[in-house]
Structure 1
């Protein structure tokens, strides 16, 4: 994630390159030897770290779902006593970091989730549901007029907006990370605000 400053381990290097290659060419379009070459080790050497490509894909998709949930919980814990709007802004910022810095994982989730074993896929879904519910709780504190189902729909819609980054072009073609992050943040808050406005009665 964007907040990490220490050097990645070899295992993390393998996962990063596997995510990039899987996103670019598809899971079945990439061989173990190619992933190994990308990190400077032999293909068979990868088996000291992973049982195979399936294990890499599972760790990538389960791992990012877990990190998003853990990050959101940490932000909520650190925001004790902070106004709800600031908490929501913090959640949005965290998801934007993911959307800008881990774009291949968004592509992988969209294309390859069904390739996971049932148990891994169910774990991904479970982690994602918990992540959504954390957001729903905060969104309803900021916009109490929203019902729970409406707030949940708004959260999913905002995720769709933020997770559109793989379709924005190559990173070098974007107007700059800060500018893009600011735009995404304003659009996310605008979407939640529109949901809140739509939920109010005309006389309010």
Structure 2
């Protein structure tokens, strides 16, 4: 998949939170993310995907059983990576530091993987069960890591309010990088961090 920055993984490469990745499969998944984000899942054929990585359609089947399998692995990988790193960062003893670390991780992921974010938001319903169920379970677990940190910061907040705030924060972080122009990456990351921190602080008001 698209590589993640050192900041996003706390100083290590992407293999810190995931097992060894077959380079060819990773190349196919990265190409599929770009293709599905640009054309939509139904607008891209297995032949289109094969051509994008220099393979014929039949040759692609040596790596994946079909287009559904590509999409399922892509979204499972996103969800597993987000959760694994979220768990690690949420465990920081100081809840304020934990929240800042979670924000830096999610912002880096959103800025560096816009195609993956787009596919994740638009195409989950095209993932077959039980993989779709697994993705949703992983998503919920990731949200709960953020909720737990906010509860440590603001004890007594209602669960429903806290979860709503986390989902709203994700909406900001996931959508703004795709629509904003004129700022370099560092400036955009700093702006998103400031805005998200302020929005989450308002949860306690």
* TM-score normalised according to structure 2 size: 0.86
Is 1:183 matched with 2:191?
yes
Which residue of 1 is the match for residue 10 of structure 2? none
Q: Distance in 2 between matches of 1:176 and 1:145?
A: 39
Contact 1:100/1:165 (8 A) holds in 2? no
1:110 deviation in Å?
2.2
Contact 1:104/1:166 (8 A) holds in 2? no
Q: Distance in 2 between matches of 1:53 and 1:166?
A: 27
Report matched runs for 1:145-156 at 5 Å: 145-156=156-167
Quick one: structure 1 residues 5 and 91, their matched pair in 2 at CA, closer, same or farther if it must change by over 3 Å? closer
Which residue of 2 is the match for residue 10 of structure 1? 24
Which residue of 2 is the match for residue 44 of structure 1? 58
Quick one: structure 1 residues 166 and 192, their matched pair in 2 at CA, closer, same or farther if it must change by over 3 Å? closer
Q: Aligned to 1:64, what secondary structure does the other structure show?
A: helix
* Alignment RMSD (CA, Å): 1.9
Is 1:61 matched with 2:90?
no
The structure whose Rg is larger is 1
Q: Distance in 1 between matches of 2:141 and 2:201?
A: 23
Contact 1:113/1:121 (8 A) holds in 2? yes
Report matched runs for 1:96-175 at 5 Å: 96-165=107-176, 167-168=178-179, 173-175=181-183
Deviates more, 1:38-47 or 1:154-163: 38-47
| Structure 2 unaligned residues grouped into runs of 5+ | 7-12, 16-20
1:193 to 190, 198, 201: 201
Contact 1:162/1:184 (8 A) holds in 2? yes
Q: Distance in 2 between matches of 1:179 and 1:8?
A: 34
Quick one: structure 1 residues 5 and 139, their matched pair in 2 at CA, closer, same or farther if it must change by over 3 Å? closer
